[in-house]
Chain A
Amino acid sequence: MKLIVNGQKIESNAGSVVSELLVEQNVKMPDMVSVEVNEQILKRSQFESTQLKDGDKVEFLYFMGGGNVIN
């Protein structure tokens, strides 16, 4: 299906749920990512169940704590 991921148009061959898209898009650490679909942020527990459809806009938002972190 055709999706817009992080502003780029892509053709996705993943299954139709978010967790499968994360794998296809090479997001190695899904726990470090927050996902927004069509301007709504998902709960982590929804990654496996949220269905994507043609034309959906998906954003992967990455946790960024800082460049030098051990406190």
Chain B
Amino acid sequence: MSLTEQQIERYSRHIILEEVGGVGQEKLLRSKVLIIGAGGLGSPAALYLAAAGVGKIGIIDGDKVDLSNLQRQIIHHTSDVGMEKVKSAADKIRAINPDVTVKTYHQLAMAENIRAIIKSYDFVIDCTDNFGAKFLINDACYFEKIPFSHAGILKFYGQLITILPGKTTCYRCIFNSPPPTDVAPSCSQAGVLGVLPGVIGTLQATEAVKYLLGLGKLLTGTLLTYDALEMDFRAVKLNRNPKCPLCGDEPEITELKDEEQQVCDLKDGKCCN
């Protein structure tokens, strides 16, 4: 594959970077990234990967655009309210960059379908907003051995980690299983600062690009935590857990299961102090 004149111009700022060059840009154009969730995190991730020229972007989301999304889900516009999120996202991706092929999945990621979907991608980005999906994605990527970026956000806080399944610390190494439903309060009232997923989702896209290009040091074995109020980033080193129920020495989880959805209500107080 060689770049057209238009592409050389479009991607010139990448090509000028010694560490990327035309070769790197061609690699991006041949790459396939799946974004699970076209919401707060998925929006910036999708926009930046489109701009970067990732050749194929898959997006999974079962939802429609809602007015309350627009405070932070910047890939969706006022005129998109009521539209399927995957269609709204796909339209903007194509508008930014016609080089990108978009595959949309207007459905929820579930145990019965997720492995078949993720198989054909090079990297997955978890942009979901619930624990059940996060554990499912972690497990599915482990079974299919697809590297992925995990992230979560809440109120003024965010965190992310890059996971090379079977090689580096996984989500279950850190968080064994979803928090109990009767204890976890309901997150629908928690709220989130609109700009927050912009930061974290873009960091996820950064990790994806680094992985695809083989550049720099991936955020593996390290949970990056962000406190927007304190403007504090911390990189917490986390080794693989030999007692991890998925990737540890004596695995208990050998197949995918839809974890019970958590309801997490913060009106009474703090989820993360």
B228 at interface (Cβ–Cβ under 8 A)?
no
Determine the chain B residues whose CB is within 8 A of the CB of A41 once the complex forms: 173-174, 238, 241
Q: How far is the CB of A61 from chain B (nearest CB, A)?
A: 6
A10 at interface (Cβ–Cβ under 8 A)?
no
| Interface-side segment among B43-51, B93-101, B260-268 | B260-268
Asked whether A64 lies within 8 Å of B223 as measured between CB atoms, the reply is no
Could you give, for residues 180-209 of chain B, a 1 whenever the CB lies within 8 Å of some chain A CB and a 0 otherwise?
100111111011100011000000000000
Could you give, for residues 55-70 of chain A, a 1 whenever the CB lies within 8 Å of some chain B CB and a 0 otherwise?
0000101111111111
B120 at interface (Cβ–Cβ under 8 A)?
no
Asked whether A66 lies within 8 Å of B128 as measured between CB atoms, the reply is yes
B179 at interface (Cβ–Cβ under 8 A)?
yes
Determine the chain A residues whose CB is within 8 A of the CB of B188 once the complex forms: 68-70
Q: Please tell me which one of the listed residues A6, A40, A69 contacts residue B264 in the complex, with CB atoms under 8 A apart.
A: A69
Asked whether B223 lies within 8 Å of A68 as measured between CB atoms, the reply is no
Q: Given contacts A29-B183, A32-B184, A34-B175, are A65 and B157 in contact (CB under 8 A)?
A: no
Determine the chain B residues whose CB is within 8 A of the CB of A40 once the complex forms: 239, 241
| Interface-side segment among B7-15, B147-155, B210-218 | B147-155
Determine the chain B residues whose CB is within 8 A of the CB of A71 once the complex forms: 108, 130, 132-133, 261
Q: Given contacts A32-B179, A32-B271, A40-B239, are A64 and B159 in contact (CB under 8 A)?
A: yes
Q: How large is the interface on A (under 10, 10 to 19, 20 to 34, 35 or more residues)?
A: 20 to 34
Determine the chain B residues whose CB is within 8 A of the CB of A31 once the complex forms: 179-180, 183-184
B167 at interface (Cβ–Cβ under 8 A)?
no
B103 at interface (Cβ–Cβ under 8 A)?
no
Q: List 29 A-B contacts (CB under 8 A).
A: A25-B273, A28-B273, A29-B271, A31-B179, A31-B184, A32-B179, A36-B236, A39-B238, A43-B176, A43-B243, A61-B225, A61-B236, A63-B184, A63-B271, A64-B153, A64-B154, A65-B130, A65-B262, A65-B264, A66-B152, A67-B72, A67-B155, A67-B196, A68-B68, A69-B130, A69-B186, A69-B187, A69-B264, A71-B132
